[in-house]
Amino acid sequence: MKAARAGGLAALALLLHLLSACASAPPPRPALPPVQKVAVAPGLPWPKAEILALARQAYRCGVEEGAIQRNVLTVIDYSLPSSERRLWVIDMLRGKVLHHELVAHGEGSGGRRAVAFSNQVGSHQSSLGLFRTDEVYNGRFGYSLRLSGLEPAINDKARERAIVMHGASDVSDSFAERWGRVGNSFGCPAVPLHAANSIIDTIAGGSALFAYYPDEEWLRQSRYLSCARGPY
């Protein structure tokens, strides 16, 4: 009788243990790199507020998806003419603009202003949307940075098209002053030679690059501009 009672108590204890284990909270999800609100710091100019908000949204979605691993965001505003500095590199943790420079667009996108964009091989046009920065290499244009487009049908042929960041001698203030624009590329976001290495070293290896233009279809359809809001 005592043995049966002891066995019953042991079974009850085991059942309570199992119920406790089932009711326990699930393990917390791995911490993502914090995506903090970017306060405007003194120093270099910032992108327009509405464009910065879109870029931050895309960056946050990329981080939550696991496509972006670094707290650095590059913004290109293709709505501005190429004679204006329209590239920003932002440290998202410190809320600081690290670089503000000229950047080229593809010759197929337009002259002084970019007005057309493509994901097609041979188009010589720039692409919009969210990119991830990848590896650096030395190639035809010297020190260069490969980019991977993250948006299907928008920029996901970037690797196939050899869309990379590199320096170019005709992307300069002096060229812009003489011709009213900087030189065009085959779709690459080429930057001034004097700043190329520093920019590439700052953003390489898994950071976000967001290329903007007020294209209504892209703005409406991009999953990086409409992902569910999370805790970041």
Residue 160: its pLDDT value, please?
A: 98
* Non-local CB neighbours of 3 within 8 Å, separated by 6+ positions: none
Q: What is the model's pLDDT at position 15?
A: 38
Decide if 1 is inside a domain. no
Residue type, 64: E
In a domain, 69, yes or no: yes
CB of 185 closer than 8 Å to CB of 169: no
15: helix, strand or coil = helix
| pLDDT digit string, tens, across residues 95-147 | 999 999 999 999 999 999 999 999 999 999 999 999 999 999 999 999 999 99
Per-residue pLDDT at 18 exceeds 90: no
* Pick from 209, 107, 197: nearest CA to 144: 197
Residue 18 is assigned to a structural domain of this protein:
no
For 145, phi and psi rounded to 5 degrees?
-130, 125
Q: Which domain CATH number covers 54?
A: 2.40.440.10
Distance, CA of 105 to CA of 101 (rounded, Å): 13
Domain span including residue 138: 49-225
- Quick check: is 22 in a domain? no
Q: What is the residue-averaged pLDDT of the chain?
A: 86
Does residue 40 belong to any structural domain of this protein?
Answer: no
Per the document, the length of the chain is 232
Quick check: 214 and 225 in contact, CB under 8 A? no
Q: Tell me whether residue 208 is in a domain.
A: yes
Note whether residue 205 is domain-resident.
yes
Question: Residue 212: which of 9, 73, 21, 112 has the closest Cα?
Answer: 73
* C-alpha to C-alpha distance for 28 and 69, rounded to whole angstroms: 19
Give the count of domains, the chain: 1
Query: pTM of the prediction?
Result: 0.82
Q: What confidence tier does 6 reach under pLDDT thresholds 50, 70, 90?
A: very low
In-domain check, residue 16: no
36 pLDDT tier (thresholds 50, 70, 90) = very low
The more confidently predicted of residues 16 and 162 is 162
The Cα–Cα gap between 154 and 161 comes to: 13
Report the distance separating Cα 109 and Cα 188, nearest Å. 11
